[in-house]
Structure formats: structure tokens, C-alpha cells
Structure 1
Amino acid sequence: MGEHLAVVMLVHALRIHLAQTARHAPGWLAGLADPVVGPALSALHAAPHRPWTVAEIAEVSGVSRSTLAERFKRSVGLSPLDYLRRWRIELASHRLRHSTDTLAVIARSVGYGSESALSTAFKQVTGVSPRVYRSGAAA
């Protein structure tokens, strides 16, 4: 009985903490809690390889581009396309660490048309090239 009560109290405390965090701190969790941004995030995560535009993302959420951009930035802390770029780089990083796929294959799978485009974005986000990242992950 006491153990069950402790678990219930922990869950309740976590719910309160997450609710307060989502309201006050920008990030993915706050974005999911926003009724405009949540559907946009879900769409971006479901199809990161798609060549998204802000207009298409806004259409998913049923709002204008400017409304989406403002709400996304306030909730998540990034513009929709900056968030997408970071999400794609996270996916590429995972593939670089856990597969032997070529950079061209990884680039296409996460929405970049070429190795060069992926390399440029990867270096902007992580500070290193995909090849250096892969060799460091292997070491």
C-alpha cells in the first residue's frame, strides 16, 4: 500500500512539473502542449524527409504562416524550419553512429538532396562534418 502511494505521488509530482515546464520553458514538450504547434511537430517528426515549407506546416496546423511562426518560436524556441533542420541532423547523427550507410543514403533519408547539403547543415548544427562525427563515434 505504501509503495503504491509513493508511485502515485511521484506520478502526480512529475505531471505538475511537466505542466509548469511546458508553460514556462520553450522546447519540444511545450510545443507538444500547444494546440497549434503540436500537430506541426507531429507532422515534422512523421515525415522529416519531406521538403517542407512554412506554408505547408501551417496548413497542417490550420493557421497562417505568420501565426505558426510566432507560436512555434514562442513554444519551441526555434523557427519551424530551424527545428526541422535540427531534427534532421539528430536523425542523421543516429544513422552515422548506428549504421554503415553512405552519407548520400543518409542525406536522402533525412530530407537533403545531396551529401554536400547534409554536410553543410550538419557542420552548422554540430560544429563538425559528418565524416569527423562518424569517425569520432566509432572510436
Structure 2
Amino acid sequence: MTGKKILWTILAVIIVAGAIAFYARFYFVFAEGAKAGQLNTFQRKGYVFKTYEGILIQSGFKANVQSNEFEFSVANEKIANQLIENAGKDVELHYQRYFGVLPWRGNTVYVVDSIYYIKEANGQMGVSPK
């Protein structure tokens, strides 16, 4: 092999390794689950990329100093509009956790991708489970 071939091979390996690392950091779903609580705040914010950000207050008594707030982002505008209309209500949300944050996806590693339910003030379910 010539020196040029070796250089191009090394360069190709570096590019492929970089692409795999980028995917693993920003697009690989590390964990997913559900959180339930009262939707405390939900807003659209940002300087360049306007993203939807919210805080869910989880119910229950916490004996330690650990926070019971769940900060999350929403990338889907339809889900974001449902949450904006239902601030202050009890909700159960499905989320995905990533290793890294992309500015157009949100400010947190937790991205809500669906709503299991929204409980109305009278106890009725506003959004049925999927």
C-alpha cells in the first residue's frame, strides 16, 4: 500500500468513527419512560431556535433534599400545543432520554414524545391513553 492509500484509509476510519460517535451522543435513545405529575409551567423560548420547555411537579412526599421537578423539552408542535392548553393539570407523559442536547430539539436531554393522559379538573380524562 502506498502512503496515499494509508492516509485515505485512516481518514475514512476517522470520519466513520466520528459519525458513529455523533449518532450515539445526539440521536441514540438511552432510556425511555413515563412521568406523572402536575404541569407547572410550559413555554416556548430560545434566542435562535425556539423550543418548547416545561416543568412537571411530581406528586408525593420527598423526605430527602432531592428535587421533585422534571424538566423536559417537546419537539412535536402538536404535543406542545396540547400541553400549553393544559398547564396546571395533572398529566402523564412519555419521554425519551438522550446523552446530548441539540439546540433545535430543546434545552434538556429529556424529550417528551407523547401524552398518556391529561386529567381535567373534574377528574375526567381529557386525553385517553394510547
Bigger fraction of residues in strand = 2
Higher relative contact order (CA 8 A, sep 6+): 2
Normalising by the residue count of structure 1, what TM-score does the alignment of the two structures yield? Answer: 0.27
Normalising by the residue count of structure 2, what TM-score does the alignment of the two structures yield? Answer: 0.28
